[in-house]
Homo-oligomer: A and B are copies of this chain.
Amino acid sequence: MTDTSILHRLAEVIEARRSADAGSSYVASLFDKGQDAILKKVAEESAETLLAAKDGDKLHLLRETADLWFHCLVMLSYYGLSPDDVLEELCRREGISGIEEKKDRNLLG
């Protein structure tokens, strides 16, 4: 089983790079452009994930999903949040049947 602390290590890399020179770091360039640039990347990677999935190309799908999660980490950092905050939220839900949870949160509509 993979050491999943990669999410934490990447979060640290993002924290370290976010105030770097925009020309020297992709992450810094995103933070330099601001909120909408970061959110657009999340949306773009989500769309690219769908396109790869529809092609049934597993390697491509993995790469796009990795891109999506990476840009989620950038987004979380932008808002002062960490991957642990999301993982804890996922822990909180574990054991709850999805259908019950969706009903509970009224998200089925």
Instruction: Contact check, A29 vs B99: say whether CB atoms are below 8 A apart.
Output: yes
Q: Which residue of B lies closest to A87 (CB)?
A: B2
Can you tell how many copies of this chain the complex includes? 4
Interface residues of A, count at CB 8 A: 67
- The answer for the CA separation of A8 and B36 in the assembled complex, in Å, is 31
- Within the complex, the shortest CB–CB distance from A26 to chain B, in Å, comes to 3
Which 6 residue pairs of A and B lie closest in terms of their CB atoms, listed nearest first?
A: A26-B98, A43-B47, A46-B46, A54-B54, A4-B4, A66-B89
Name A residues whose Cβ lies closer than 8 Å to a Cβ of B.
Answer: 1-10, 13, 17, 24-27, 29, 35-36, 39-40, 42-44, 46-51, 53-56, 58, 61-63, 65-70, 72, 75-76, 79-81, 83-91, 93-94, 97-99, 101-102, 107
